[in-house]
C-alpha cells in the first residue's frame, strides 16, 4: 500500500456530511484508486455502499438573465467519459455542488446506470466526452441544463420546465437510497 492520503474537497464534503447527519455510519477511504472514492458502512461494518464523488465549484452563470441568476441555488459543470460511467464499480455517483452565495451544499446522488441512461437520452450515445450542467434551484429542483435554450433555462428557474430525462430532482440530496442499502 502506497502512503497516499489525499482527499479532494468533494470527498471531504461528502464524508463530513455523512459523519454529521449519520453518526452511526462509518466512512472509509480506499488505499488505492479503484473508481470508488469513499466506502460507507453501517455501524457494525456488515453492509457497505461505495461512492464515486464528483465535485464542481459553483458556476452560477453570470452571463444569464437576472431571473435565472436570482433563482438558482447553484450550477455545476462536469465532463463525463461514458465508458468510465458504464464500467463504474461504485454503487452511487455523488455530485457535490456548493453554493457559495447561499453557503449550502447540494448532493446529487444516483446509480451510474441511471446517470448513463439519462446522459445518453439527453446528449446521444457518442463516445466523446459529455459535458453536463447540473443546476439546483432555490425551490429544491435539479436539472441537467447543458444545451438548453435561454428560454428553457428561464422555465427551469420558474419551475415550469418539463423533461423527464433532464429532471434530476429525485436524486437531489437523496440520501435515502444509501440509508435503504445500509439497513
Structure confidence by residue, pLDDT tens digits, 27-46? 999 988 899 999 999 999 99
Instruction: Provide the grid cell at 67.
Output: 431571473
Instruction: Provide the grid cell at 92.
Output: 452511487
Query: What pLDDT digit, counting tens, does each position of 58-90 carry?
Result: 887 666 678 778 899 999 999 999 999 999 999
- By the 10 Å C-beta count (0-12 exposed, 13-18 middle, 19+ buried), 106 is classed as buried
Instruction: Provide the grid cell at 28.
Output: 472509509
**pLDDT at residue 1, as a whole number:** 44
Judge contact between 127 and 82, C-beta under 8 A: yes
**How does DSSP assign 56-89, residue by residue?**
------TTS-HHHHHHEEEEEEEEE-HHHHHT--
Give the domain ranges of the chain: 9-182
- Residues 18 and 47: their CA atoms lie apart, in Å, by 15
- By the 10 Å C-beta count (0-12 exposed, 13-18 middle, 19+ buried), 119 is classed as buried
β partners of residue 130: 80
Query: What pLDDT digit, counting tens, does each position of 47-66 carry?
Result: 999 999 999 998 876 666 78
Section 86-101 average pLDDT: 94
Cα separations in angstroms, 177 against 25, 54, 147, 172, 180:
14, 18, 29, 11, 5
- Residues 55 and 170: their CA atoms lie apart, in Å, by 19
- Residues 49 and 91: their CA atoms lie apart, in Å, by 6
Amino acid at each position: 500500500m502506497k502512503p497516499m492520503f489525499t482527499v479532494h474537497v468533494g470527498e471531504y464534503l461528502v464524508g463530513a456530511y455523512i459523519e454529521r447527519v449519520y453518526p452511526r455510519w462509518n466512512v472509509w477511504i480506499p488505499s488505492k484508486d479503484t473508481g470508488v472514492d469513499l466506502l460507507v458502512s453501517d455501524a457494525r461494518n456488515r453492509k457497505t455502499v461505495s461512492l464515486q464523488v464528483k465535485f464542481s465549484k459553483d458556476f452560477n452563470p453570470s452571463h444569464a438573465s437576472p431571473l435565472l441568476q436570482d433563482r438558482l441555488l447553484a450550477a455545476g459543470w462536469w465532463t463525463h467519459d461514458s465508458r468510465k460511467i458504464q464500467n463504474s464499480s461504485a454503487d452511487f455517483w455523488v455530485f457535490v455542488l456548493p453554493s457559495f452565495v447561499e453557503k449550502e451544499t447540494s448532493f446529487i446522488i444516483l446509480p451510474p446506470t441511471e446517470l448513463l441512461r439519462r446522459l445518453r437520452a439527453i446528449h446521444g450515445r457518442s463516445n466523446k466526452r459529455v459535458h453536463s450542467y447540473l443546476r439546483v434551484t432555490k425551490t429544491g429542483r435539479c436539472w441537467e441544463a447543458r444545451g438548453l435554450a435561454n428560454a428553457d433555462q428561464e422555465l427551469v428557474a420558474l419551475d415550469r420546465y418539463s423533461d423527464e430525462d433532464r429532471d434530476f430532482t429525485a436524486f437531489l440530496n437523496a440520501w435515502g437510497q444509501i440509508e435503504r442499502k445500509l439497513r
